[in-house]
Structure 1
Amino acid sequence: MASNVTELLVTTPFYSPIELGDTGEPIFEQLVFGSIVIDCHCTECGKDSTFRRDSLASNGGGAGSGVVTVAVAKQTIKIIEGNTINIELYCARNHAHKMRYWFTVQKGKLIKIGQYPSMVSISRGGLRKYSKVIYDGGIRELESAMTLATHDHGIGAVVYLRRIIEHLLNNHAKLARENGTFDADIERLDIPQRIEALRDTLPRFLYENKTIYGILSKGVHELSDETCMQYFPMLLSSILLILEQELSERQRILKEDVLRKEIHKLSSALGSSKTD
């Protein structure tokens, strides 16, 4: 289940219900009344951007103050029951560029029933940056996971997410052997042991949350489509965070390498020059 409005809009597939109880009401209140700010790819700008909607809340639940009472939120849930909620956000780069979402409330559950542009279209541009740290075809498989999720094929979706971790571990194992930092046959270790062996080079979030692979495997072999769909937004966000950390580390290493060479070049030039 989505834990906040950003996750609800960006990664939650269609028809994944959110119970509007104690945990769901804050999301509902912000969705209907509050200000919304999310960072994602703008398909019209062709760049990452910020999308926002200003607060619709008001004094005591009426127009003007930005405060919504719990009573007003609960009453609104009853009023909206069975109807459609339209959410529109504008791009900070160009206010004419919009993202639109449609929700409904059915039997006390908030359900996303549509969006434009599609989740895959929005994600496609934002995922391209990970092509430097992911295997050939990995971006396409991430898109496939999202597409499967939009059609409620939760098991198929988590299969692709698990493959991302497997390929990441294989890549780090290959680098470890090439660098001579790990002599054992890493591929013979089970996944938790492999993560432990590679802990110094893996993205921190993956090492600190190594059980994510076991969760994905359970989704492939034991859980239902419905259960996989329930946890897909969180699992997708975790995979994207792992890729983000991997990319950040790769960029840090490249920047250090460039600066190291520049310093060496300058040091050599100054050392060989004559001074008064």
Structure 2
Amino acid sequence: MEIDIKKFYFQDSLYSKTEISDDDLESLFRTVYFSGKIDSYCPYCKKETVFQGEPIRAKKKNPDLNSYNSEIFSFEDFTNEYDFDFLRNKDFRLSFKCLREEYSHRIYFYVRVEPDSIFKIGQNPSLAELTDSFVTRKYKKLLSNDKISEFNKAIGLHAHGVGIGSFVYLRRIFEGLIFETFDKVQENLGISKEKFRSARMSDKITFLKDYLPEYLIENKEIYGILSKGIHELDENFCKEVFPVIQDGLEFILEEKLIQLEKENRKKSNSQLIQKIKQDLNNGK
């Protein structure tokens, strides 16, 4: 199994375990000693940036006296010196430096490897802090302050290992998108508010199919998963699938953002055209 390094460090909550076996030694090595680059949001720069991993590397047992470096860089060199037992039951620290401000902007992760799993035991800034600014900045044109707060609460709860509670807030955001759309287009639908509110969510989406993002219509099961998670599923399942549902909601929001930006550009362009027409009529 190949560990998704960005998901593991930047999306998974603390103590959310990824199962491993002896066959995963290379993937495990590349995770705890990761030195590659990852695109993500820097809460210090408040911009999308590139982070580079800075691991604390394993040392060679018998370094070459003529070598200036006793650290292990490649998986091949690691397996020449150690086996899986070297990584088991150990804690690791990995930092990521922001390449915009590589000497000051760093994110730190603390990882535990057990015989059959790997998971984060700490990080600074927290997952909630990493995503709070990101959500606020990205969706402030689309979501009310209350909905942004709910989105951040969902992410914060997930970051602290809460599954069902985080689902509650994601479901509220989904519902908010539906009712907000209905309020805007009710006159076009010819449906009373009472009839709409009493309908099942699948029927609500059908009523609004000409006004909702395509991704939402294609994946309306998101709401069913959220509702089932709140009423029937256990904490571990909700924690495990939270990043998938979060991504689904973000795809929906991003589609709405594209439409909003398109409408704003059309409006601005129309105003400019009317100004040009007016100037021409005035003999300019």
Same fold (TM over 0.5): yes
Which shifted more, 122-131 or 11-20?
A: 122-131
Judge conservation of contact 1:49–1:91 (CA < 8 Å) in 2.
yes
Judge conservation of contact 1:34–1:56 (CA < 8 Å) in 2.
no
Pair 245,55 (structure 1): closer, same or farther in 2 beyond 3 Å: farther
**Matched position secondary structure for 1:181:** helix
Judge conservation of contact 1:49–1:92 (CA < 8 Å) in 2.
yes
Judge conservation of contact 2:22–2:84 (CA < 8 Å) in 1.
no
Which shifted more, 123-132 or 22-31?
A: 22-31
Matched, 1:138 2:139: no
Structure 1 distance, partners of 2:112, 2:144, is: 39
Aligned residue pairs: how many? 264
Normalising to structure 2: TM-score of the pair?
0.81
Which of the numbers 193, 206, 211 marks the counterpart of 1:201? Answer: 211
**Matched position secondary structure for 1:102:** strand
- 5+ residue gaps, structure 2, are 58-68
1:25-68, Cα deviation, whole Å (9 max, x unpaired): 776354234513121132x22434332237999xxxxx99x974
Kindly, what percent of the aligned residue pairs are identical? 26
Which shifted more, 128-137 or 84-93?
A: 128-137
1:102 corresponds to: 110
1:150-184, Cα deviation, whole Å (9 max, x unpaired): 3322111101011100001111111111xx33222
1:125-151, Cα deviation, whole Å (9 max, x unpaired): 111131221234112212221222233
Judge conservation of contact 2:111–2:118 (CA < 8 Å) in 1.
yes
How does 1:91-240 map onto structure 2 within 5 Å? Answer: 91-95=98-102, 96-129=104-137, 130-177=139-186, 180-185=187-192, 186-240=196-250
**Matched position secondary structure for 1:112:** strand
Judge conservation of contact 1:10–1:119 (CA < 8 Å) in 2.
yes
For residue 4 of structure 1, report the CA deviation from its aligned partner: 2.4
Larger Rg computed on CA atoms: 2
Aligned-residue Cα RMSD (Å) equals: 3.2
Structure 1 distance, partners of 2:185, 2:24, is: 45
2:90 corresponds to: 83
Structure 1 distance, partners of 2:142, 2:116, is: 42
2:36 corresponds to: 35
Structure 1 distance, partners of 2:174, 2:23, is: 30
Structure 1 distance, partners of 2:119, 2:146, is: 32
Pair 143,267 (structure 1): closer, same or farther in 2 beyond 3 Å: same
1:178-208, Cα deviation, whole Å (9 max, x unpaired): xx33222333331122223323332232222
Pair 140,222 (structure 1): closer, same or farther in 2 beyond 3 Å: same
